[in-house]
């Protein structure tokens, strides 16, 4: 069995909890022993990593990471970085080794700014909204077969081999801000999250992680739309707030409902059987693997009505995300 199938075959599902249009099923799985790593927020807080533009002039699709950390740093697909010449999101999950200096493949999520607001980037408290992540995953699966078979080091190769289609990312952000009624001078998705900050914090309060939880299945309006799994309980707990907001921001969208009914009960109630069926679809997906942007393998999944990706290193799944294709429509 592959690392992904071993992980998914051993998942157990907890009791669901709901807030507004979003329902979350905790996922539990035995953690495989892995080398020590920390997440980006912890590394930034400890001042053991710098993320900057590649030069004074900068380059939209790549950033520079310089690590002073004694252990590896895990950066997750969709995490947003704020500052420098414009805000970016990570195009893929990356494990940067201790002391690494490397290039990060990114996409801009702030189309109207190209000037310094700070020298270094800081981490946002959210990941890109789930619908845009799902659409990005579909695009990146389509180009995965054209990927290289050896590591990439130049800015051009890193950008091209982990390309998420910048124009489509800008379009997703612009459309989302419009649908959410957010006016942003620089078309920054961060402004959207800040505008809905109070309501997003309500999701955090209502849907806190439970002991032992290593992942979650997310349902919107009764339909399972995605699953997220991390290598360890500690890693999941540390990143959960960002992942929750990724789905909660979509749950708040009222494009097809009057404001008064946005938080109305879902028409259908998802069950554990629905989660099991979604996981089975992911288990049956076609798998394509290529070298990651740094350590491990970048694995892409394309199944019956689902698309996903995983970062696998030393037979351990560090991060797996899979989305229902209806979310990407």
Structure confidence at residue 259 as a pLDDT band (50, 70, 90): very low
pLDDT of amino acid 155: 81
Q: Within 13 A of 314's CA, how many CA atoms are on the CB side?
A: 8
pLDDT of amino acid 255: 38
Of the listed ranges 175-189, 247-261, 264-278, the least confidently predicted one is: 247-261
Question: In this structure, is residue 142 part of a structural domain?
Answer: yes
Q: Is this prediction's pTM over 0.85? A: yes
pLDDT tens track for 287-298: 999 999 999 999
pLDDT of amino acid 254: 55
Question: In this structure, is residue 134 part of a structural domain?
Answer: yes
Distance CA 300, CA 2 (A): 13
Question: In this structure, is residue 183 part of a structural domain?
Answer: yes
pLDDT of amino acid 69: 97
Question: In this structure, is residue 296 part of a structural domain?
Answer: yes
Res. 95: pLDDT tops 60: yes
Question: In this structure, is residue 88 part of a structural domain?
Answer: no
Distance CA 30, CA 212 (A): 9
The pLDDT of 245-249, averaged and rounded, is: 98
Question: In this structure, is residue 157 part of a structural domain?
Answer: yes
The number of distinct structural domains making up the chain is: 1
Edge-to-edge strand list for the sheet holding 49-52: 49-52, 62-67, 101-108, 88-90, 79-83, 121-127
**In this structure, what are the phi and psi dihedrals at residue 234, rounded to the nearest 5 degrees?**
-60, -40
Structure confidence at residue 145 as a pLDDT band (50, 70, 90): low
Distance CA 193, CA 288 (A): 33
Question: In this structure, is residue 175 part of a structural domain?
Answer: yes
Distances (CA, A) of 1 to 8, 108, 133: 11, 37, 27
Q: Which residue has the higher pLDDT, 242 or 159?
A: 242
Res. 147: pLDDT tops 60: no
pLDDT of amino acid 247: 98
The pLDDT of 110-139, averaged and rounded, is: 97
Identify which of 24, 22, 20 has the alpha carbon closest to the alpha carbon of residue 264: 20
Residue 326 β-bridge partners: none
pLDDT of amino acid 156: 77
pLDDT of amino acid 256: 41
Q: What's the chain look like in SS3?
A: CCHHHHHHHCCEECCCEEECCEEEEEEECCCCCCCCEEEHHHHHHCCCEEEECCCCCCCCCEEEEEECCCCEEEECCCEEEEECCCCEEECCCEEECCCCEEEEEEEECECCCCCCCCCEEEEEEEECCHHHHHHHHHHHHHHHCCCCCCCCCCHHHHHHHCCCCHHHHHHHHHHHHHHCCCCCCCCEHHHHHHHCHHHHHHHHHHCCCCCCCCEEEEEECCEEEEEEEECCHHHHHHHHHHHHHHHHHHHCCCCCCCHHHCCCCCCCCCCHHHHHHHHHHHHCCEEEEEECCCCCEEEEEEECCEEEEEEEECCEEEEEEEEEHHHHC
The pLDDT of 73-92, averaged and rounded, is: 98
Question: In this structure, is residue 165 part of a structural domain?
Answer: yes
Res. 183: pLDDT tops 80: yes
Res. 150: pLDDT tops 50: no
* Residues of the domain holding 296: 3-35+129-328
Average pLDDT across the chain, whole number: 93
Distance CA 40, CA 48 (A): 10
Record the tokens describing residue 196, joined without a space.
């809905």
**In this structure, what are the phi and psi dihedrals at residue 291, rounded to the nearest 5 degrees?**
-55, 140
pLDDT tens track for 40-66: 999 999 999 999 999 999 999 999 999
Res. 240: pLDDT tops 50: yes
Of the listed ranges 171-175, 192-196, 260-264, the least confidently predicted one is: 260-264
């Amino acid at each position: 069995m592959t690392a992904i199938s071993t992980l998914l075959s051993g998942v157990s599902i907890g009791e669901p909890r709901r807030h507004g249009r979003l329902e979350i099923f905790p996922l539990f799985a035995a953690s495989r022993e892995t080398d020590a790593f920390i997440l980006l927020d912890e590394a930034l807080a400890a001042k053991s990593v710098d993320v900057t533009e590649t030069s004074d002039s900068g380059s939209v699709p790549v950033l520079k990471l310089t690590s002073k950390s004694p252990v590896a740093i895990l950066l997750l697909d969709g995490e947003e970085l704020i500052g420098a010449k414009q805000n970016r999101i990570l195009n893929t999950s990356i494990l940067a080794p201790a002391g690494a200096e490397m290039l990060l493949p990114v996409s801009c999520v702030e189309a109207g700014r190209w000037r310094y607001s700070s020298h270094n980037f800081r981490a946002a408290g959210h990941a890109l909204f789930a619908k845009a992540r799902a659409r990005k995953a579909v695009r990146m699966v389509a180009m995965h077969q054209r990927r290289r078979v050896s590591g990439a080091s130049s800015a051009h190769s890193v950008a091209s081999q982990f390309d998420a289609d910048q124009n489509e990312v800008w379009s997703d952000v612009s459309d989302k801000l419009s649908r959410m009624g957010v006016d942003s001078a620089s078309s920054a998705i961060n402004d959207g999250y800040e505008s809905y900050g109070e309501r997003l914090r309500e999701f955090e309060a209502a849907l806190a992680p439970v002991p032992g939880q290593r992942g979650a299945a997310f349902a919107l309006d009764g339909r399972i739309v995605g699953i997220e799994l991390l290598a360890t309980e500690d890693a999941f707990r540390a990143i959960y707030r960002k992942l929750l907001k990724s789905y909660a921001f979509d749950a708040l969208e009222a494009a097809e409902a009057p404001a008064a009914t946005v938080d109305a009960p879902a028409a259908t109630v998802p069950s554990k059987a629905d989660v099991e069926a979604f996981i089975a679809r992911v288990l049956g997906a076609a798998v394509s693997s290529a070298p990651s942007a740094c350590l491990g393998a970048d694995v892409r999944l394309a199944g019956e009505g689902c698309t996903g990706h995983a970062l696998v290193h030393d037979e351990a799944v560090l991060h797996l995300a899979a989305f229902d294709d209806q979310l990407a429509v």
